């Protein structure tokens, strides 16, 4: 009788890479719909054009590395990276901005380190930070959301903004996080009254956008794509910081906990960015520390730094610290104790 001999691992997980990536893409749909409703079709144009660039860059990198192209294109990882980056970019971004950001994310942040599974930093956030530092004007150009403006540009206007940006003329305005960071003398109630971008406690439209990404994140938790530790820890740390330093509305106030939870890219970052299994901490205790560190950094950079949204910078700084966090939060192996220098090892 002949027996089939195979190498380890002998146990296979039910979720393949392509299935995980496809589930993540599906979970972004509520947030993408909310962004499109409030900011127009530029969000869709960003994602579609960025996806095409990502597939081309992925194919080029794989060919240069002499690897098979088709299996890696079918795992959707390049599309996830480009989609997450394009969601974070301002709608109606010019084509060259998308090209630079997506190319840097795929070619440099992902393949320069060895491809999928080897990148120490979140590729989408690396591309975002490169664009934010290099092209601050284009990266801060946000359209007024529906509710502040009477309407949002349609698909033809979005295509014109992307491929013929010189001929696209549209009104732009500061985001609520920008206004909060730049406020020097107004009480919060006066700041809210003077700027139509603010709603009851957050920016117009931003509450719905964050609630939609929260919904997508809860779907990913239900599907078991990641554990609750990092996102819950981040949101708790951000809320706690905002609560401690909230002074009920003086001109120096950094904003209430609800403002920080439902403004900018908070929920998007908590459920779609910091949960990257490659560049985050590994153990559950490590994820708690990792998420809390990001929440603390997001609040600090938003209130004291020069970049009001801060999620991308906070994530990259925490990516730096992830190996250090892992070293001190590894689960204790049964029958073994803590070794010297904080690492776990045998007591013998």
Does pLDDT of 96 surpass 80?
Answer: yes
| Helices (H), ranges, 108-264 | 123-134, 136-139, 155-163, 176-182, 188-194, 206-223, 229-245, 257-261
Please indicate whether residue 338 or residue 66 has the higher confidence score (pLDDT): 66
Say what the alpha-carbon torsion angle 48, 54, 57, 58 is, to the nearest 10 degrees. Answer: -130
Whether residue 204 is found in the same domain as residue 68? no
- For residue range 21-60, what is the model confidence (pLDDT) as tens digits? 999 999 999 999 999 999 999 999 999 999 999 999 999 9
Structural domain includes residue 335: no
- Looking at residue 14, what is its pLDDT? 65
Contact 32, 87 (CB under 8 A): yes
Whether residue 46 is found in the same domain as residue 162? yes
The closest alpha carbon to 311, from 122, 153, 182, 179, belongs to 122
- Looking at residue 15, what is its pLDDT? 76
Percent of the residues in the chain that have a pLDDT greater than 70, as a whole number = 92
Whether residue 218 is found in the same domain as residue 307? yes
Whether residue 41 is found in the same domain as residue 107? yes
Structural domain includes residue 191: yes
Percent of the residues in the chain that have a pLDDT greater than 90, as a whole number = 58
Structural domain includes residue 343: no
Whether residue 241 is found in the same domain as residue 134? no
Whether residue 124 is found in the same domain as residue 104? yes
- For the chain, the average pLDDT equals 88
Whether residue 200 is found in the same domain as residue 110? no
Please indicate whether residue 230 or residue 332 has the higher confidence score (pLDDT): 230
Instruction: Specify which of 82-91, 113-122, 139-148 reaches the highest per-range mean pLDDT.
Output: 82-91
Domain end position, chosen among 115, 142, 173: 173
Does pLDDT of 243 surpass 90?
Answer: yes
- Looking at residue 64, what is its pLDDT? 93
Does pLDDT of 2 surpass 70?
Answer: no
- For residue range 275-309, what is the model confidence (pLDDT) as tens digits? 998 999 999 999 999 999 999 999 999 998 888 88
Whether residue 161 is found in the same domain as residue 211? no
Structural domain includes residue 11: no
Whether residue 147 is found in the same domain as residue 210? no
CA distance 52 to 26: 18
Residue 103: domain span = 17-173
- Looking at residue 149, what is its pLDDT? 80
- Looking at residue 9, what is its pLDDT? 59
- Looking at residue 289, what is its pLDDT? 96
| No. of helices (H) and no. of strands (E), the chain | 17, 2
Structural domain includes residue 283: yes
Structural domain includes residue 339: no
As for how many domains the chain has, the answer is 2
Whether residue 79 is found in the same domain as residue 185? no
- Looking at residue 348, what is its pLDDT? 34
Whether residue 50 is found in the same domain as residue 27? yes
- Looking at residue 344, what is its pLDDT? 46
Residue 329: partners with Cβ closer than 8 Å, 6 or more residues away? 281, 283, 285, 286, 289
- Looking at residue 43, what is its pLDDT? 95
Structural domain includes residue 247: yes
Whether residue 161 is found in the same domain as residue 195? no
- Looking at residue 346, what is its pLDDT? 42
Tell if the pTM clears 0.85, that is, is over it.
Answer: yes
- Kindly state the average pLDDT of the residues 325-348: 64
- For residue range 194-219, what is the model confidence (pLDDT) as tens digits? 888 888 777 889 999 999 999 999 99
Structural domain includes residue 196: yes
pLDDT confidence bin for 85, thresholds 50/70/90: very high
Kindly tell me the sign of the dihedral angle through the C-alpha atoms of 142, 148, 153, 154. Answer: positive
- For residue range 3-25, what is the model confidence (pLDDT) as tens digits? 556 566 566 666 788 999 999 99
Kindly tell me the sign of the dihedral angle through the C-alpha atoms of 21, 30, 156, 82. Answer: negative
């Amino acid at each position: 009788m002949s027996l089939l001999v195979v190498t380890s691992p002998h146990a296979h997980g039910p979720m393949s890479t392509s299935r995980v990536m496809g589930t993540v893409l599906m979970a972004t749909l509520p947030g993408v719909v909310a962004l499109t409703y409030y900011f127009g079709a530029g969000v869709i144009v960003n994602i579609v054009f960025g996806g095409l660039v990502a597939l081309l860059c992925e194919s080029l990198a794989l060919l240069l590395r002499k690897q098979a192209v088709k299996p890696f294109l079918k795992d959707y990882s390049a599309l996830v990276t480009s989609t997450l980056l394009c969601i974070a970019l301002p709608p109606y971004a010019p084509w060259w901005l998308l090209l630079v950001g997506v190319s840097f994310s795929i070619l440099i942040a992902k393949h320069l380190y060895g491809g999928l599974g080897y990148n120490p930093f979140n590729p989408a956030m690396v591309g975002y930070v490169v664009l934010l530092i290099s092209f601050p004007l284009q990266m801060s150009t946000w359209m007024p959301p529906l509710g502040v403006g009477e309407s949002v540009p349609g698909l033809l206007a979005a295509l014109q903004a992307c491929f013929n940006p010189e001929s696209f003329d549209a009104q732009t305005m500061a985001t609520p996080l920008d206004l909060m960071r730049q406020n020097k003398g107004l009480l919060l109630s006066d700041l809210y009254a003077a700027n139509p971008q603010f709603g009851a406690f957050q920016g117009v439209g931003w509450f719905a956008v964050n609630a939609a990404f929260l919904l997508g994140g809860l779907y990913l938790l239900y599907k078991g794509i990641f554990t609750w530790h990092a996102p819950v820890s981040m949101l708790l740390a951000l809320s706690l910081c905002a609560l401690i330093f909230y002074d009920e509305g003086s001109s120096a106030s950094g904003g209430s906990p609800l403002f920080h939870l439902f403004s900018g890219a908070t929920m998007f970052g908590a459920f779609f960015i910091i949960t990257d299994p490659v560049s985050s901490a590994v153990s559950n205790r490590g994820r708690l520390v990792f998420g809390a560190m990001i929440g603390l950094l997001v609040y600090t950079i938003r209130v004291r730094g020069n970049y009001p949204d801060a999620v991308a910078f906070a994530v990259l700084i925490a990516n730096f610290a992830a190996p250090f966090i892992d070293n001190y939060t590894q689960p204790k192996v049964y029958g073994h104790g803590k070794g010297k220098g904080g690492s776990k090892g045998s007591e013998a």
